[in-house]
């Protein structure tokens, strides 16, 4: 593939500003930034903050698409500012705004509280009936590589909120669990170590649950980690329908593998540290 | 947590209608809703008009005469377009929502491909069928009927 040649140029940034102490509603402010090839939107925003307006507020942390802090609406599309290069999406003008469907705390900082509340509501952890084994494990829960592949894709979620801000269903139904929480419910329901499907189905099969999704597919288009939330939601619906029709296959819980018997530990390998919880 | 003032940034209906750098399936999502609402409106009108028969033959014929104008012919064709699209796209959605044609979970490798890529052949085939239905319906309505 031939690499597109990009030249340094001046780009006009239109940034949607909102200061809760002064403003009743957001307004657009214009900045001009000299952009070189390779500069990310986050670099451009730092340039503005350092040389033009120190009051610009934004949230960021890792600068490499891992932490999910710098989600913004860039030229009308929810994206991470740190892994979007300016010249890839703008020739002369770049619009930067806070993520839609989330309240604005200040300037480019969205209030992601609904995302985390919805995430918590689906019990995003392994649920098992044998609490004794959970608290005092006697071995490992066995899982085959194929079983791992069945949900691994959905574990890469970084909770950046891009999917929820792109979702047209959330736009008109703020109570909808959305493309962040629903794939996580599938991720745990598909996990062979987990036994919490019946507990989660009451939440994800409810009015504002999985069946509100009608596959606009934007969550999968904007996800910066390839999680494909739209796929997980459809697979979750499949489980819910099959369960309702009593056709869902009951799978055995992961067996507990204790220490192997009749073999000696290789002396060079140190013992694991004691449990801390 | 301390209370703070914030600005509600919910976009409401613009979330359905707002274009921009969106994927094709999002337009199908919006069109599916619009055609669904359109057919619901037609259904209400249909019940209203056909119920006129209880007021006698004259009332019935008066209403039927109204619908012979070219404007209503075009309207009738649009209802058929909405039906063809909504039915075929609905089949796609039913299949997808039952977990067919979205593929299995896989390790994401950049550039990412998603379930949208998996279902696209189904979408293309069904949209072609819808287009053929619309063409046949239009031919029947405008060419054969007159």
Residue B22 has pLDDT above 80, yes or no: no
Residue B19 has pLDDT above 80, yes or no: no
- pLDDT tens digits for range A243-260: 999 998 877 778 888 877
Residue A25 contacts B, CB cutoff 8 Å: yes
Q: Residue range B124-144: average pLDDT?
A: 93
- pLDDT tens digits for range A164-184: 999 999 999 999 999 999 999
Phi and psi of A205, rounded to 5°? -95, 5
A231, A232, A235: best to mutate for the B interface, most B CBs within 10 A: A231
State how far the Cα of B42 lies from the Cα of B32, in Å rounded to an integer. Answer: 15
The SS3 assignment for B25 reads helix
Residue A2 has pLDDT above 80, yes or no: no
Q: Which CATH fold would you assign to the domain B23-101+110-144?
A: 3 helical TM bundles of succinate and fumarate reductases (1.20.1300)
Show me where the domains of chain A are located: 9-110, 113-244
Cβ–Cβ < 8 Å for B7, A104? yes
pLDDT classification of B1: cutoffs 50, 70, 90: low
State how far the Cα of B42 lies from the Cα of B77, in Å rounded to an integer. Answer: 12
Cβ–Cβ < 8 Å for B79, B42? yes
Residue A220 has pLDDT above 80, yes or no: yes
* Rg, Å, chain A Cα set: 23
- List of chain A residues whose C-beta atoms are within 8 Å of the C-beta of residue B12: 171-172
Residue B21 has a pLDDT of 63
Cβ–Cβ < 8 Å for A202, A150? no
Residue B18 has pLDDT above 90, yes or no: no
Smallest Cα distance from B143 to chain A, Å:
36
Residue of A25, A101, A226 with shortest CB distance to B112: A226
Q: Three-class SS string for B29-45?
A: HHHHHHHHHHHHHHHHH
Burial of A233 by CB count in 10 Å (0-12 exposed, 13-18 middle, 19+ buried)? Answer: buried
Q: Which CATH fold would you assign to the domain A9-110?
A: Ubiquitin-like (UB roll) (3.10.20)
Q: Do B97 and A237 touch (CB under 8 A)?
A: yes
Q: Do A216 and B12 touch (CB under 8 A)?
A: no
Q: Residue range B98-114: average pLDDT?
A: 93
Q: Do B115 and A152 touch (CB under 8 A)?
A: no
- Measured between its terminal Cα atoms, the distance across chain B in Å is 72
Per-residue burial over B94-118, b if 16 or more Cβ lie within 10 Å, else e, is: ebbbebebbbebbebeeebebbbeb
Helix residue ranges, H only, A62-130: 86-89, 113-121
Residue A74 has a pLDDT of 95
Residue of B10, B18, B93 with shortest CB distance to A215: B93
pLDDT classification of A261: cutoffs 50, 70, 90: confident
Contacting residues for B109 by C-beta, under 8 A, at least 6 apart: A226
Residue A277 has pLDDT above 70, yes or no: no
Residue of A76, A211, A227 with shortest CB distance to B21: A76
Residue B106 has pLDDT above 70, yes or no: yes
Which residues 52-91 in chain A show a CB within 8 A of chain B?
Answer: 75-77
CATH number of A113-244: 1.10.1060.10
- List of chain A residues whose C-beta atoms are within 8 Å of the C-beta of residue B34: none
- pLDDT tens digits for range B43-74: 999 998 889 889 888 888 888 888 888 888 89
Element (H, E) at A233: helix A229-244
Q: Do A231 and B20 touch (CB under 8 A)?
A: no
Q: Do A241 and B6 touch (CB under 8 A)?
A: no
pLDDT classification of B20: cutoffs 50, 70, 90: low
Q: Is the dihedral of CA B68, B70, B73, B78 positive or negative?
A: negative
Residue A114 has a pLDDT of 96
Residue A102 contacts B, CB cutoff 8 Å: yes
pLDDT classification of A138: cutoffs 50, 70, 90: confident
Residue A105 has a pLDDT of 96
Q: Do B112 and A223 touch (CB under 8 A)?
A: yes
Q: Do A228 and B114 touch (CB under 8 A)?
A: yes
- List of chain B residues whose C-beta atoms are within 8 Å of the C-beta of residue A26: 7
For A67, the token pair is: 């932490």
Residue A112 has pLDDT above 60, yes or no: yes
- pLDDT tens digits for range A57-100: 999 999 999 999 999 999 999 999 999 999 999 999 999 999 99
Q: Do B115 and A234 touch (CB under 8 A)?
A: yes
- List of chain A residues whose C-beta atoms are within 8 Å of the C-beta of residue B31: none
Could you tell me which chain A residue has the CA closest to the CA of B6? A105
DSSP secondary structure letter of residue B3:
-
pLDDT classification of A186: cutoffs 50, 70, 90: very high
Could you tell me which chain A residue has the CA closest to the CA of B102? A231
Q: Residue range B84-110: average pLDDT?
A: 95
CA angle B69, B72, B76 (to 5 degrees): 140
Q: Which residues pair with A105 in a beta bridge?
A: none
- Complex ipTM more than 0.85, yes or no: yes
**For chain A, how many residues are written?**
277
Cβ–Cβ < 8 Å for A45, A96? yes
Size of interface A-B (CB pairs under 8 A): 151
Residue B98 contacts A, CB cutoff 8 Å: yes
């Amino acid at each position: 593939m031939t690499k597109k040649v990009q030249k340094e140029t001046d780009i006009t940034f239109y940034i949607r500003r909102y200061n809760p102490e002064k403003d009743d509603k957001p307004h657009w402010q214009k900045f001009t930034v000299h952009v070189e090839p390779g500069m990310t939107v986050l670099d451009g925003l730092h340039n503005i903050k350092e040389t033009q307006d120190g009051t610009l507020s934004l949230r960021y942390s890792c600068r490499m698409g891992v932490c999910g802090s710098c989600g913004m609406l860039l030229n009308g599309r929810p994206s991470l500012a740190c892994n979007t290069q300016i010249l890839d999406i703008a020739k002369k003008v770049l619009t930067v705004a806070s993520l839609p469907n989330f309240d604005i705390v200040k300037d480019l900082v969205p209030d992601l509280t609904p995302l985390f509340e919805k995430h918590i509501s689906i019990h995003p952890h392994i649920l098992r009936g044998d609490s004794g084994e959970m608290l005092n494990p006697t071995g490992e829960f066995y899982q085959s590589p194929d079983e791992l592949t069945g949900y691994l894709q959905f574990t890469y979620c970084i909770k950046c909120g891009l999917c929820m801000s792109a979702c047209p269903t959330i736009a008109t139904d703020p109570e909808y669990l959305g493309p962040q929480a629903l794939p996580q419910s599938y991720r745990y329901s598909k996990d062979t170590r987990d036994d919490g499907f019946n507990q989660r189905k009451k939440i994800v099969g409810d009015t504002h649950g999985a069946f509100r999704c009608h596959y606009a597919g934007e969550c999968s288009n904007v996800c910066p980690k390839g999680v494909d939330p739209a796929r997980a939601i459809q697979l979750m619906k499949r489980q819910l329908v099959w369960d309702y029709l009593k056709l869902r296959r009951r799978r055995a819980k992961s067996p507990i593998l204790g220490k192997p018997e009749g073999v000696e530990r290789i002396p060079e390998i140190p013992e694991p540290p004691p449990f801390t919880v | 947590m301390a209370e703070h003032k914030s600005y509600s940034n919910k976009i409401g209906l613009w979330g359905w209608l707002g274009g921009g750098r969106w994927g094709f399936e999002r337009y199908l999502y919006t069109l599916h809703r619009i055609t669904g609402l359109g057919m619901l409106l037609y259904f209400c009108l249909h019940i209203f008009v056909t119920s006129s028969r209880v007021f006698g033959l004259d009332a019935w014929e008066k209403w039927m005469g109204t619908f012979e104008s070219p404007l209503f012919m075009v309207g009738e064709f649009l209802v058929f377009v909405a039906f063809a699209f909504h039915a075929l796209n609905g089949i796609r959605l039913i299949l997808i929502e039952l977990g067919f044609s979205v593929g299995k979970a896989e390790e994401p490798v950049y550039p990412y491909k998603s379930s949208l890529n998996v279902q696209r052949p189904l979408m293309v085939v069904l949209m072609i069928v819808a287009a053929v239905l619309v063409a046949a319906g239009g031919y029947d309505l405008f060419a054969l009927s007159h």
